[in-house]
Structure 1
Amino acid sequence: MKQGKPLISLVILAMAAVIAIYLAYYVFDSMDEPYQIAHAYAYTAYDSVAAEGLVVRQAVLIPSQPGILEVTRAEGEKVGKGQQIALVYRDTQAQADQAQIEALQMETELLEYAIAQGGSLDSAARLDEEILQAVAELRASYAQGDCTQLWEQVMDVKSGVLKRGYTYGEGLTSTDLSDRLRKLSGELSVLTQQSARATTRISAPVPGVFSNLVDGYESRLTPETVLQLTPSSLQALIDDPAGQDAGAMGKLITSNTWSFAASLSKEAAGRLEEGGRATLRFSGELARDVEMQVDKIGPTEGDRTLVVFSSNRYLTSTTLLRHQTAELIFDSFSGLRIPKEGLRLVETTVQDKETGETIQVKKLGVYALVNGRAEFREASIVHEGSDYYVVRPVGTGPKILRAGDSIIIHATGLQEGLLLAG
Structure 2
Amino acid sequence: MKQGTVITRIMIVLMFFMVCAYLLFSVLRSLDDRTYTVTTYAHTVDDAVEATGLLIRAETVVTGQTAAIVDVLPDQGEKVRAGAAVAYLYQDESALDRRRELRTLTLEQEQLKYALQGQDGTDASRLDQSIVDAMVGLRTSAAYGDLTSLEEQSLSFKSLVIRHGYASDAGVDELSAAITALDAQIQALQSASALDTTTVYAPCSGTFSAMADGYESTLYPDMLESLTAASFKQLMAQDPTAPAGAVGKLITNSKWYLATTVSPEVAERLVVGRSVTVRFSRDWSGEVSMKIERVDEATDGACLVILSSTRNLADTSMLRKQTVDIVFNSLDGIRVPKKAVRTENRAVTDPETGETTTKQVIGVYVLTAAQAEFKAVEILADDGDYYLVQAVLPDVPTDNQLKTAFRAGDQVIVSSDELYDGKVMTK
Distance 2:410 2:162 in 1: 61
* Residue 177 to residue 137, structure 1, CA distance change in 2 (3 Å): farther
> Structure 2 vs 1, CA of residues 278 and 291 (structure 1 numbering), >3 Å: closer, same or farther?
same
CA-CA distance at 1:74 after TM superposition = 2.1
Secondary structure, in 3 states, of the residue corresponding to 2:314? Answer: helix
Structure 2 residue aligned with 1:37: 37
Between 1:169-178 and 1:207-216, the stretch displaced more is 169-178
What are the within-5 Å matches in structure 2 for residues 400-419 of structure 1?
A: 400-419=405-424
Match of 1:399 among 399, 404, 420: 404
Q: Deviations over 1:262-282 (max 9, x none)?
A: 011111011101121111101
Aligned equivalents of 1:200, 1:221: Cα separation in 2: 30
State the shift of 1:225 in Å: 1.3
Q: Which moved more, 1:236-245 or 1:78-87?
A: 236-245
> Aligned letter for 2:89?
V
Q: How does 1:50-61 map to 2 (within 5 A)?
A: 50-61=50-61
- d(CA) in 1 for partners of 2:247 and 2:353? 83
Paired AA for residue 88 in structure 2: L
Matching residue's letter, 1:289: E
Taking the aligned partners of 1:101 and 1:81, their CA distance within structure 2 comes to 24
Instruction: Tell me whether 255-264 or 225-234 shows the greater mean CA deviation.
Output: 225-234
SS at match of 1:103: helix
Q: 1:32 to 1:320 in 2, by over 3 A?
A: closer
Q: 1:304 aligns with which of 280, 302, 305?
A: 302
Q: Does the 8 Å CA contact 1:37/1:406 hold for their aligned counterparts? A: yes
State the partner residue of 1:82.
Answer: 83
Q: What is the match of residue 207 of structure 1?
A: 205
Range moving further from structure 2, 188-197 or 52-61: 188-197
* Paired residue type of 2:102: I
Which of the numbers 314, 317, 323 marks the counterpart of 1:316? Answer: 314
Counterpart residue number, 1:48? 48
Report the AA paired with residue 407 of structure 1: V
Residue type of the alignment partner of 1:71: V
1:376 equivalent to 2:377? Answer no
2:331 aligned partner: 333
Equivalent residues of 1:62, 1:249 under 8 A apart = yes
- TM-score normalised to structure 1 length: 0.81
The whole-number CA distance in structure 1 between the counterparts of 2:32 and 2:388 is 30
Partner of 2:398: none
Q: How does 1:151-190 map to 2 (within 5 A)?
A: 160-161=153-154, 163-168=156-161, 171-174=164-167, 175=171, 177-190=175-188
RMSD between aligned residues:
3.3
Letter of the 2:61 counterpart: L
Q: CA separation in 2, counterparts of 1:135 and 1:79?
A: 33
SS, match of residue 296 in structure 2:
strand
Report the CA distance shift for 1:353/1:204 in structure 2 as closer, same or farther (over 3 A): closer
Tell me if the contact between 1:230 and 1:299 (Cα under 8 Å) persists in the aligned partners.
no
How far apart in 2 are the matches of 1:125 and 1:310?
53
Q: Displacement of 1:27 after TM fit? A: 6.9
For 2:160, what is the secondary structure of its paired residue? helix
CA distance in 1, matches of 2:360, 2:374: 12
Larger Rg: 2
Residue 90 of structure 1: CA displacement?
4.7
Quote the offset at 1:207 in angstroms.
0.2
Q: Following the alignment from structure 1 to structure 2, what is the Cα–Cα distance between the partners of residues 90 and 132? A: 44
> Equivalences for 1:281-296 in 2 at 5 Å?
281-296=279-294
8 Å contact kept, 1:59–1:218:
yes
Matches of 2:258 and 2:351, distance apart in 1:
58
CA distance in 2, matches of 1:308, 1:120: 65
- Asked if the contact 1:131–1:160 (Cα under 8 Å) also holds between the matched residues in 2, the reply is no
The alignment of Structure 1 onto Structure 2 pairs a total of residues equal to: 388
What is the match of residue 16 of structure 2?
none
Structure 1 residues not aligned, in runs of 5+: 1-20, 140-152
Cα deviation, 1:32-59, whole Å, max 9, x if unaligned, reads 4531322211110011111111111111
Instruction: Find the aligned partners of 2:349 and 2:306 in 1 and give their Cα distance.
Output: 58
